[in-house]
Chain A
Amino acid sequence: MRASLISLVFLLFSQTVWSAAKIEHWQTAQGSRVYYVQTEGLPMADIQVAFDAGSARDGAQLGIAALTSALLDTGAGDWNADEIAQRFESVGAVVGSGISDDMAWVSLRTLTDQKLFDKALETLQAILTRPAFNEADFQREKSRTLAALKQREESPAQIARIAFYKAIYGDHPYAHPSDGIIETVSGFNADDLREFYRKYYVAANAIVVIVGDLNRKQAEQTAERLVADLPAGQKPEPLPEVTMPLKATQRHTDFPSSQTHVLAGMPGTYRKDDDYFDLFVGNHILGGAVLVSRLFNEIREKRGLAYSASSSFMPMFRKGPFVMSLQTRNDQTQEALEVLNKTLQEFIEKGPTETELTAAQKNITGGFAMRFDTNKELVNYVAMIGFYELPLDYLDTFQQKVEQVTAASIRDAFKRRIDPQLLQTVTVGGNQAKSEK
């Protein structure tokens, strides 16, 4: 009895002490926001520079954000693509770039040994601030992108995803695939990319995230150096609000696959949403938790209808998708859809049981330390907090907010936010009547 009390106290104590991943925040002279966490134990650092320059900024040029990002390390300053790659790789550094709907980022993982670090940083600075967008590199990367877009059509999963976003977002900038479409990408020229870069890759629109074995002074110098050569510029206008669909729709695309891919959902939650924790914990019970959620139980464990069956909220600057998904043998599609819809319906009407809620809260809070027990995960959390300007104590208050959620608040939030009358359902697959078994 006494022993267990002590261990309980110790447990709480050790978690509280540890959970404070101390995020420090300041601005560079040029006005970029910096977020920094010092971690010790390994002589390495992870750096991310992120811009509000994701595919939602494509305008009519669908895919321009992605191609701009892909060109950055193909030529910059005095260096061509080979030289840039050699400079990073000769010091064991790993550079990456990419985009989401909201964000474009360049990331660097490097050792912190001064000589190695300096060479990696100097190269990163060049690709961020002096990309060349040479014609030859542009043509090559464009045709590589076009090949990838073509290959996308081999995949029923990707076709379904594209159709789903179109269904839930209509004309909103979130509606199109981030890599663009063949029709628009084939019309780009290098000047289009330069223009996109000039408009969005500016200091006022950038954040710098640093996680690793660097002290505060080193972090300040690093951030300053990285973005000093960017023009100050300005932040773009906020993205428009998402309008909800007016009624439920269901659409099917024929594809010669043995399974039908099913996606169903609607615009869900955004980063600063007051309902966020109710929706997050609720979804954990509905379809978010691995191996134990309701959807997993109903679709896979009880009926063997699919290998994966899950649901998720993807919070973005505006309402990101709420999506339930599964893949099943073509002729089982109707049955799977019925179970999916019934499970959702029931959850919305009755909410979770107290037992389910307690289990979910224990899972989330008990596993809290594992959400960012690597620098790699931590840098992504910090980038998310910085980019969306969430409170710096977001991670410290996370467990408390999860614990404050009640069965009633989940039910209330789902009732208000997830209306089955607006559900958008997309199926991609083969003939549903014929059994191939």
Chain B
Amino acid sequence: MKNRLLFAILLCLPVFASSAETKVSERVLGNGLKVLVKEDHRSPVVVSQVWYKVGSSYEPGGITGISHMLEHMMFKGTDKHPPGEFSRIIAENGGDENAFTGQDYTAYFQTMEKSRLEVSFELEADRMRNLNLLDEELKKELQVVTEERRMRTDDKPRAKMQEYFMAMAHTNSPYKNPVIGWPADIASYTVEDLQAWYQRWYAPNNATLVVVGDVEPKAVFKLAEKYFAPLKPSEIKPLKPRTEVEQIGVRRMTIKLPAKLPYIIMGYKVPSLKTAEQEWEAYALEVLAGVLDGGNSARLASELVRGKQIAVSAGAGYDLTSRLSDLFVLEATPAQGKTVEDLESALMEEVTKLQNELISKEELQRIKAQVLASDVYERDSMFYQAMQLGMTETVGLGWQKVDEYVDKVNQVTAEQVREVARKYLIKDRLNIAYLEPQPINENKVSPTTQGEHDAR
């Protein structure tokens, strides 16, 4: 009976009906640990994530990247579980695990068959307060992180360009520093640095535990109580604001690196949902990003890649959920015979259009349809659902923002999109970087041992 009714509603409004079904249960333990549980009974699996309010935007100069380094060291053992044990136990229980660090968060996760949730809680609770930071382990792991930096950034021209670009665009905002840290800082971490960072931020009252899966909230709260409640809270001193100063004119830079194709990045200083004077501005910027790059029918693909054929690829990006104000980014690779200057004018033209003309009804409808659909698709993944809750909570927006998202995007009007374009996508807020490719040495192939390659 109830199902039939639901089905009837689904036919006209599939997405609203289903989004009403999702519920998050919240409980804060006595020591300040916030626990969020979302039920998803589609398969006998559970995702557990511990989110700490610390990331590269918390770091002072000289120790940039230390949040990421500490993330690596979190696998190096406690008194109860020597180095390597954590991962061995999770693996033996059929778990997938890892961790990730961003500008505003450090998070650890396990995905397990639902009956193993306790295994994850026991280990995470232990390393929240009892990590052993040893000099010999740090020495090795420092090498690993240095290799990680080489792989992710140093040997990738566009990643390296991105790093320089962020450093130029931000004057005093900590977003100027790469998450992985500057090379000289990475080379100089000491055990004392890491110990101090761990003491300062790793505490139940600076963390959120997110559980999504085939579980009952009450049982999860009970289990969380058992393992996490005994942990002592810390006094967490508030972060200094480090609010970015106003930009007062366009900034440009040229990056010369061995590469094959030129490339341009343009970034306007814009507020996030957290920093916007009025919330709708952030949602309007989100829609604006969709107008430019929300699929193959969006303007950049349709106008620049196909229409004018000036770019082989072009994109736009905006992160609604950053803790501090960041950039609205446009980026593109020129087509054969075109230059980054051509792209700059073409991208500027798109921006001007957004400032002068209202976006069409069809575009707005398309974006809203996509947002509604993604809201369903995203629920195919427990991991993603947990990510959204953890991230919004950790940057200080509150997880309720996840549930509001579809409605808020739906309320955005064409006039509001034009208004944010006029207010924020202006030259005084603009930063531009050009990649100027340098020759890559001719590849020399040489058989180094056992003679020439004629085997077959």
In contact, B91 and A18 (Cβ under 8 angstroms) = no
In contact, B95 and A109 (Cβ under 8 angstroms) = no
Residues of A within 8 A of B397 (CB): none
Q: Which residue of A lies closest to B139 (CB)?
A: A304
Residue from the list B18, B95, B369 in contact with A42, Cβ < 8 A: B18
In contact, B139 and A82 (Cβ under 8 angstroms) = no
In contact, B18 and A43 (Cβ under 8 angstroms) = yes
In contact, B140 and A7 (Cβ under 8 angstroms) = no
Residues of A within 8 A of B83 (CB): 301
A203 to B143, alpha carbons, bound, how many Å?
54
Judge whether B261 is part of the interface by a CB distance below 8 angstroms: yes
Task: Encode A302-316 as 1/0 by CB contact (under 8 A) with B.
Answer: 111111100000000
Judge whether A400 is part of the interface by a CB distance below 8 angstroms: no
A104 to B267, alpha carbons, bound, how many Å?
37
A305 to B447, alpha carbons, bound, how many Å?
24
In contact, B92 and A327 (Cβ under 8 angstroms) = no
In contact, A329 and B147 (Cβ under 8 angstroms) = yes
Residues of B within 8 A of A41 (CB): 41-42
In contact, A255 and B260 (Cβ under 8 angstroms) = no
Interface of A is mostly: mixed
| A88, A167, A365, A427: most-surrounded residue (chain B CB, <10 A) | A88
Least Cβ–Cβ distance between B42 and chain A, in angstroms: 5
A258 to B150, alpha carbons, bound, how many Å?
7
Judge whether A92 is part of the interface by a CB distance below 8 angstroms: yes
In contact, A291 and B87 (Cβ under 8 angstroms) = yes
Task: Encode A53-74 as 1/0 by CB contact (under 8 A) with B.
Answer: 0000000000000000000010
Task: Encode A221-262 as 1/0 by CB contact (under 8 A) with B.
Answer: 000000000000000000000010111111111111111000
A432 to B310, alpha carbons, bound, how many Å?
41
Known: A44-B377, A153-B260, A373-B43. A251 touches B14 (CB 8 A): no
Residues of B within 8 A of A184 (CB): none
In contact, B96 and A290 (Cβ under 8 angstroms) = yes
A151 to B440, alpha carbons, bound, how many Å?
11
A302 to B83, alpha carbons, bound, how many Å?
11
Q: Which of A252-302 contact B (CB under 8 A)?
A: 252-259, 289-292, 297, 300-302
In contact, A306 and B147 (Cβ under 8 angstroms) = yes
Judge whether A11 is part of the interface by a CB distance below 8 angstroms: yes
Q: Which residue of B lies closest to A73 (CB)?
A: B296
Known: A82-B302, A305-B143. A366 touches B296 (CB 8 A): no
A248 to B399, alpha carbons, bound, how many Å?
56
A297 to B14, alpha carbons, bound, how many Å?
49
In contact, A86 and B297 (Cβ under 8 angstroms) = yes
A140 to B301, alpha carbons, bound, how many Å?
12
A-B contact count (CB 8 A): 264
Judge whether A407 is part of the interface by a CB distance below 8 angstroms: no
How many of A's residues come within 8 Å of B, CB to CB?
A: 95
Residues of A within 8 A of B144 (CB): 300, 304, 306-307
Residue from the list A154, A252, A362, A367 in contact with B259, Cβ < 8 A: A154
Residues of A within 8 A of B382 (CB): 373-374
In contact, B84 and A113 (Cβ under 8 angstroms) = no
Q: Which residue of B lies closest to A150 (CB)?
A: B260
Known: A143-B335, A304-B139, A366-B95. A109 touches B377 (CB 8 A): yes
Least Cβ–Cβ distance between B19 and chain A, in angstroms: 11
Judge whether A98 is part of the interface by a CB distance below 8 angstroms: no
Residue from the list B44, B151, B313, B369 in contact with A92, Cβ < 8 A: B369
Residues of B within 8 A of A252 (CB): 445-448
In contact, B84 and A301 (Cβ under 8 angstroms) = yes
A254 to B456, alpha carbons, bound, how many Å?
24
Residues of B within 8 A of A363 (CB): 91-95
Judge whether B58 is part of the interface by a CB distance below 8 angstroms: no
Judge whether B441 is part of the interface by a CB distance below 8 angstroms: yes
Residue from the list B44, B93, B302 in contact with A362, Cβ < 8 A: B93
Judge whether A342 is part of the interface by a CB distance below 8 angstroms: no
Residue from the list B42, B145, B150, B261 in contact with A259, Cβ < 8 A: B150
Q: Which of A153-195 contact B (CB under 8 A)?
A: 153-156, 159, 163, 167, 170-171
List residues of A whose CB falls within 8 A of some B CB. Answer: 7, 11, 14-15, 18, 39, 41-44, 73, 81-82, 84-86, 88-94, 109-114, 116, 140, 143-144, 146-148, 150-151, 153-156, 159, 163, 167, 170-171, 243, 245-259, 289-292, 297, 300-308, 327-329, 359, 362-370, 373-376, 427
List residues of B whose CB falls within 8 A of some A CB. Answer: 10-11, 14-15, 18, 41-45, 75, 83-84, 87-88, 91-98, 111-113, 115-116, 139-148, 150-151, 154-157, 258-261, 294-298, 301-302, 305-306, 309, 312-313, 333, 335-336, 362, 365-366, 369-370, 372-374, 376-377, 379-382, 440-441, 443-451, 453, 455-456
Known: A90-B297, A363-B95. 6 other contacts (CB 8 A): A85-B302, A112-B14, A151-B261, A154-B156, A154-B440, A291-B75
- Listed from nearest, the 3 A-B pairs whose CB atoms lie closest are A366-B94, A92-B373, A304-B143
25 A-B residue pairings within 8 Å (CB atoms) = A7-B115, A18-B44, A39-B42, A44-B373, A85-B302, A90-B297, A91-B369, A92-B374, A111-B14, A144-B313, A147-B336, A159-B443, A249-B451, A250-B450, A255-B440, A290-B97, A292-B84, A301-B84, A302-B140, A306-B147, A307-B147, A359-B88, A363-B92, A363-B93, A373-B45
